[in-house]
Amino acid sequence: MREDFSAAAAAVRSPSQRAAGMPRSAIREIMALAAGRSDVIHLEVGEPDVSTPAFITDAAFTAARQGWTKYSSNSGLPTLRKQVAEHVGRAWQRPVSADNVIITTGAIGALYSALMSILDAGDELLVPDPGWPNYAAIAHLASAKAVRYLQPAERGFLPDPAEIERLITPRTKAIILNTPGNPSGAVFPRELMGAIMDIAQRTGIYVVSDEIYEDLVFEGQHVSAGMFDLPDRTFVISGFSKSYSMTGWRIGWLICPPSLASVASSLQEPVTSCASTIAQKAGEGALNSDGSSVRAFRDMFMRRRDIVVDVFGNTGLLPMVPEGAFYALIDIRRKGMDSLAFAKTFLAEHKTAVVPGITFGPTCDGYVRVAFTIGDDDLRKGLERLRRFIQS
């Protein structure tokens, strides 16, 4: 008797439920429409427009010529792990052991390893709304449930510790924090970070703190979750992408709770094995520097942030002056369109790309995100088009 394989064959042709069910971000639609178009002003791109500083590229070339072209261990080159531990320890003003540092494939690789090392199917993960969509996507891949906590415009796009506490259930495993924040540019004050760390201590949840924009803070100081003395519950994520304009090198780091460092490192084996060794040598070059290139970057983004304030400051359309990163949220509610329709119409009619706020969560549909990652003149021109379009 011949068996009927048609159902199995159909299943072979379709993607897994896990892949098919992964939340997709509205940013892709706009990026696809805007990709490669030189007639478009690109306010959608979330990476610095300048090249990686030459001294970093030189360090990578030299290393490659010397033969640094093989695998490293899962957790990265010992020399870079030590450098990162010292770099982070200086900022936190306490010693950080290189044993707890894992070098990852970008900050996203660090997020992935951190979350995969703690999430079981059915666990709840608190994620910010608005917030970077990849958090919920990783929760989905781990069969965990993303539960959104709010960071509304009225609170300067910052979370409310009391609300976070109310959302914690026996299934809550961790909370993701992001400061400076994408998409708002909000920066956590010390008291806020302290209050959330207190909650983590009392409830036993993990804190996974995404601090990839830590060097791009315009006013005041970046406050890291790692500065609070809760190493057993805290993962801190950062890297080179935004501070050194190294997005394409795919290199970042994860500071782990001591008891989870080896498991988080072993999780890299079946996914990436290790971060690119040449990129790790470039990272060593970056951390060997005196920090002047990072300061110059920050000053450049601050100058551009001021252009955003200049164009939108007195319109009522800029709910919060960004204090860090290179993004601002612009209020589009008076246009009466949802953010995706707005972004598509604006691109079609005014040749300027922005990211629809819905990308970052349901509460952000009344906003679009602009990135100040292009030259000053185009930036001003694009922002003025946006202001006129909203006001028309």
Among 52, 151, 178, 339, binds ligand PLP (CB under 6 A): 178
Size of residue set near ligand PLP by CB under 6 A: 13
Work out whether 239 is an interface residue with ligand PLP (CB under 6 A). yes
- For the window 280-319, what string marks contact with ligand PLP as x by the rule CB under 6 A? ----------------------------------------
Report the C-alpha gap between 231 and 370 in whole angstroms.
Answer: 35
**Which CB sits closer to ligand PLP, 24 or 333?**
24
Please, which of residues 87-106 interact with ligand PLP by CB under 6 A?
106
Work out whether 161 is an interface residue with ligand PLP (CB under 6 A). no
Tokens of 1: 């008797």
Q: Shortest distance, CB of residue 104 to ligand PLP, whole angstroms? A: 8
Residue closest to 38 by CA, chosen among 376, 374, 387, 390: 374
Please, which of residues 204-223 interact with ligand PLP by CB under 6 A?
210, 212
What b/e readout covers 87-96, taking b as 16+ CB neighbours within 10 angstroms? bbbebbeeeb
In DSSP terms, 324 is beta-bridged to 217
Report the C-alpha gap between 114 and 301 in whole angstroms.
Answer: 29
Among 72, 100, 182, 265, binds ligand PLP (CB under 6 A): 182
Work out whether 108 is an interface residue with ligand PLP (CB under 6 A). yes
- Burial (0-12, 13-18, 19+ Cβ within 10 Å), 56: buried
Work out whether 48 is an interface residue with ligand PLP (CB under 6 A). no
Note whether 70 and 277 are within 8 A (CB): yes
Q: Which stretch binds ligand PLP (CB under 6 A): 24-32, 78-86, 114-122, 239-247?
A: 239-247
> Can you give the three-state secondary structure of 243-308, one letter per residue?
CCCCHHHCCEEEECCHHHHHHHHHCCCCCCCCCCHHHHHHHHHHHCCCCHHHHHHHHHHHHHHHHH
Work out whether 74 is an interface residue with ligand PLP (CB under 6 A). no
Note whether 266 and 113 are within 8 A (CB): no
Work out whether 139 is an interface residue with ligand PLP (CB under 6 A). no
Among 59, 77, 85, 107, binds ligand PLP (CB under 6 A): 107
Please give the residue ranges that form the binding site for ligand PLP (CB under 6 A): 46, 106-108, 132, 178, 182, 210, 212, 239, 241, 247, 252
